[in-house]
Amino acid sequence: MRKIGFIGLGIMGKPMSKNLLEAGHQVVVYDLEAAPVLELAAAGAGTASSPKEVAERSDVIITMVPNSPHVKAAVLGPGGVIEGAAPGALVIDMSSIDPIVAREVGAALAKRSIRFLDAPVSGGEPKAIEGTLSIMVGGAEGDFEEALPVLKSMGASVVRCGDVGAGNVTKLANQIIVAVNIAALGEALVLATKCGVDPRQVFQAIRGGLAGSAVMEAKAPMALARNIKPGFRINLHIKDLNNALAAGHEVGAPLPLTAQLMEMMQALKVDGLGEADHGAVIRYHEKLAAVEVKEKSS
Give catalytic residues, as residue numbers: 171
Query: What's the count of helices (H) and strands (E) in the chain, helices before strands?
Result: 14, 9
CA torsion, points 75, 262, 135, 139, in degrees to nearest 10?
A: -50
Q: Name the maximum alpha-carbon separation found in the chain.
A: 66
How large is the C-alpha radius of gyration of the chain?
20
Beta strands in 127-201 (DSSP E): 133-138, 155-162
Q: Do 136 and 119 meet the contact criterion of CB atoms below 8 Å apart?
A: yes
Contacting residues for 28 by C-beta, under 8 A, at least 6 apart: 3, 4, 5, 6, 45, 46, 47, 48, 53, 54, 57, 58
CA 172-178-180 angle, 5° bins:
105
